[in-house]
Amino acid sequence: MGTISYDHPDPSIFTVLTCPSSIPGEAVADFAIFPPRWMVAEQTFRPPYFHRNVMSEFMGMIYGCYDAKEGFRPGGSSLHCCMTAHGPDSATFEKASNSTLQPEKFQGGLAFMFETSAILKATPLALKAEWRDRNYSDCWTGLNRRFKGPLTPGQSG
């Protein structure tokens, strides 16, 4: 991966396998890995930003830890279906927002992502599993609101 001076790199640069569809710019499926890498972005937020996708994301941890979510352990996975908002947990957000930005080599883990334009659905077995994290959304507890609603006509920012 080349240097990215500003902003978090789009995950698509980590794509190692893709299955194109008949629609330009839309894949049936992409497979990406997030290997050890240098993080050198300046004056920005380095972890993946908060976002929603048109595609569904299934992410898994192979070894080590993930740089955007505490507690995401090897063998763990997450599923964010189409248009489900997600991003770093509150602890990662606070750490990244208050750290001094210097080049840093992340070599603490290996994660993968399978992304598809298809709608994915968890099986009944997965939904009933005792190891399922039923409090997954709690990782965003403690995030303070940082944006105000849209400006009204005549109002300045």
Closest CA to 77 of 60, 93, 94, 90: 60
Instruction: Report whether 60 contacts 72 (CB < 8 A).
Output: no
Neighbouring residues of 10: CB distance < 8 A, sequence distance ≥ 6: none
* Burial degree of 140 (CB within 10 A; 0-12, 13-18, 19+): middle
8 assigned to active site: yes
Phi/psi of residue 12, each to 5°? -60, -20
Which residues participate in catalysis according to the annotation?
8
